[in-house]
Chain A
């Protein structure tokens, strides 16, 4: 993405587009990535509650996956999971 000049950006450091943090991919910051054993998972959604990056994907009250574009590999999900179905794997 080409960097913009001072005349092309909003003043005051304002971010005028709501929720555009979604476009800023931080997944490549990871060293370890969470991998889930689907058989063991009970859909308790504890990992979703604790994830600091909103990177646990949930649909229909079921855990459906990880947002690998934003997961930074902090491993909190693996540590709080009550059935230990999440493993941190080196990428």
Chain B
């Protein structure tokens, strides 16, 4: 019998963690993630979990403790945002290079400076080269389910990479939604026990984690890491199939909305997708062939699926909630544009950077994007490749 509760995104993720019952949780608070660990701490106090909970002195220590625990065969989790993710930076890269299946909710919050506690994707997008798998969740229900899904993805023997489960700060983390929880036993069966092949506590097979490499072997180890992400791309669909039987929903690499015959398409991530759907509905009512693609997994980057979803469109707007400051647009835009290079059907692809520092994006803003797309499609060209949606000029 599924429980249906009114929970914030953070509380929903804390429930997922309760049901996963990790061996170790090492965390440090930061807005807007704090409630995840706060709620989880209450579960610890109430004896609902067996987790060894370590309140560490910083996020750098949090990820370090998770690395140590995970290298010892434990199932380790932490949670962070923004400056916290930035603080654990060096260890984040170490966790993936050491092939440790840590699952970490990241409540997307803008990076300083200036200090901003509100939502944008600069934190996790900044970590896109770290070797972590990245899942972007639209709402609390997805955040809850993705956290549970992530454990099996991370620990799959062909993968063995840590996973960031990203969802929007305040928008998703603090908003109360109707959340349907899976039964405790279902989650427990889904995650199973971690069977770590290489554990520091396996005294019969002593080993060393984290040695030095010189010029002669570093490249080979990194080649292996690249192969792991390739394997992840191949293996994740099979895990999604199995998860569909558990949760009744497909967590595909991307999700299409009213894409049948869609000529003008917006691709976005996370909570903005909910807003975009309303814009699509309004436009479709007016007879405009609008569609929306929600990208769930940014790492591994599902180039084939993205091209497949977008290639029949005439004009596509990629919405980025972060900037690369490369002088050439946002991260999602650049990777998608690159994916299209070899494709015969190339729609017009334009970038809208939006929502930085929690700047709101509403249905009218997205409708404006579709109006722009109509113009580009008619003129058969794009005026400005990189646009800033919602900034005051």
* A residues lining the B interface (CB < 8 Å): 3-6, 9-19
Contacts and interface: CB of A to CB of B under 8 A. Distances in A.
B97 A12 contact: yes
B120 to A, nearest CB: 32
A16 B210 CA distance: 12
B205 A16 contact: yes
Interface in B195-244: 198, 205-211, 213, 216-217, 219-221, 223-224, 227-228
11 contacts: A3-B217, A5-B220, A6-B219, A6-B224, A9-B224, A11-B224, A11-B228, A12-B100, A13-B210, A14-B209, A18-B207
Nearest to A13: B221
Contacts of A16: 198, 205, 207
A12 B207 CA distance: 12
A9 B98 contact: no
A4 B224 CA distance: 13
A80 to B, nearest CB: 28
A18 B203 CA distance: 10
User: For chain B, which range describes its interface: under 10, 10 to 19, 20 to 34, or 35 or more residues?
Assistant: 20 to 34
B99 interface: yes
B220 A14 contact: no
Q: Secondary structure of the B side of the interface?
A: loop
B26 interface: no
B160 interface: yes
Q: Secondary structure of the A side of the interface?
A: loop
Contacts of B211: 13, 15
Nearest to A5: B220
A29 to B, nearest CB: 14
Given A6-B221, A13-B98, A13-B211, 16 more contacts: A3-B216, A4-B220, A6-B224, A6-B227, A9-B221, A9-B224, A12-B97, A12-B98, A12-B198, A12-B221, A12-B224, A13-B217, A15-B207, A15-B208, A15-B211, A18-B206
Nearest to B207: A16
Which of A9, A10, A12, A19 counts the most chain B CB atoms within 10 A? A12
Given A14-B208, A15-B211, A9 B198 contact: no
Nearest to A9: B220
Contact of B213 (A10, A11, A13, A17): A13
Interface in B80-101: 97-100
Contacts of A6: 219-221, 223-224, 227
> Nearest 4 A-B pairs (CB), nearest first?
A6-B220, A18-B206, A12-B99, A15-B208
A45 B227 CA distance: 50
A3 B210 CA distance: 20
B72 to A, nearest CB: 13
A4 B219 CA distance: 12
A9 to B, nearest CB: 6
A12 B99 CA distance: 6
Contacts of A19: 206
A88 to B, nearest CB: 27
Contacts of A18: 206-207
Contacts of A4: 220
A13 B216 CA distance: 12
B209 A12 contact: yes
Nearest to A4: B220
Given A4-B220, A6-B220, A13 B207 contact: no
Contacts of A15: 207-208, 211
Nearest to B219: A6
Contacts of B99: 11-12
A17 B206 CA distance: 7
A69 to B, nearest CB: 20
B198 A14 contact: yes
A13 B213 CA distance: 8
A53 to B, nearest CB: 16
Nearest to B216: A3
Nearest to A17: B207
Contacts of B227: 6
Nearest to B227: A6
A4 B221 CA distance: 11
A62 B100 CA distance: 45
Contacts of B217: 3, 9, 13
